[in-house]
Amino acid sequence: MRADVRQVADGTYLVHGSNTNWVILTEGDAVTLVDTGYPGDREQVLASLADVGSSPEAVAAVLITHAHNDHLGSAEYLRATYGTPVHLHETEVPHARREFLHQVSVGTVLKNGWRPGVLPWVVHALRSGGTTHNPVTAPEPFPTAGALDLPGRPVPVHTPGHTDGHCAYHVPDTGVLISGDALVSGHPTSRIEGPQLLPDMFHHERPRALASLDLLAELEGEVLLPGHGPVHRGPVRDAAHRARELAL
């Protein structure tokens, strides 16, 4: 199955993989790839680059919102095969190396197996490599503060809670916010549509995840590109406020 590649702003593409999204920011021949889906999504990742007229050789860097396998999937492959640098928040770097793992446990998932959508999601996650050992050998913290010298000039925004080092990426020039799992617009285990927090079991520290919504609400933007769910258009501030209201 090919990924669904959609242009959502100038030089900006949201790609729907298998239950997880990634984003491609283009600038001439070069691109920035934000997240890389599950390990099992590799062919879709490579095909999505071709769909926007690019290639893995043209990826200037991979930016990771957080080091769960459904976002980290092909990062090590790109790094090892093409020499692509993989950048994360400094707090998330050891997580990407798998010095520890901030992820929902199998036991917790099983306790929630009665909830609608959970068991089909588990089956898909297992088949897609969601529980495989998939570290990045040499992840790197961001080289500078503020806007990164990469296609799109994304600005990392530390949004802890889902994991300690979770980062969103703000692209002020196009009014885009790549929110990762700090703010989503849907998930197979959720019956809610539109801006929301992921279900509680997925967050390492839910109070910090709630607080991070306040950080996102301060950002200017009209296009929300989440780690899960469709593009959401409208003020990022309103999306963050709605997610907080639903979570309380």
- Each residue of 4-30: pLDDT tens digit? 999 999 999 999 998 999 999 999 989
Q: Hey, what's the torsion of the CAs at 133, 70, 167, 111, to 10 degrees? A: -90
Question: Helix, strand or coil for residue 46?
Answer: helix
Q: Are strands 21-27 and 30-34 parallel, antiparallel or unpaired?
A: antiparallel
Cβ–Cβ under 8 Å, residues 232 and 185: yes
Whole-angstrom distance, CA of residue 85 vs CA of residue 22: 17
Whole-angstrom distance, CA of residue 91 vs CA of residue 141: 8
Residue 30 β-bridge partners: 27
**144 CB-near residues (< 8 Å, 6+ apart):** none
pTM of the model: 0.96
- The arithmetic mean of pLDDT across residues 222-237, rounded, is 98
Q: Is 186 left (phi over 0), alpha (psi -120 to 50) or beta?
A: left
Cβ–Cβ under 8 Å, residues 23 and 34: yes
Q: How does pLDDT run across 138-154, given as a tens digit for each residue?
A: 999 999 999 999 999 99
What pLDDT shows up at residue 105? Answer: 78
Paired tokens of 84: 């692509």
Paired tokens of 109: 């998932």
Cβ–Cβ under 8 Å, residues 45 and 22: yes
Provide the terminal-to-terminal Cα distance of the chain, rounded to the nearest Å: 38
Average pLDDT, whole number, for the chain? 95
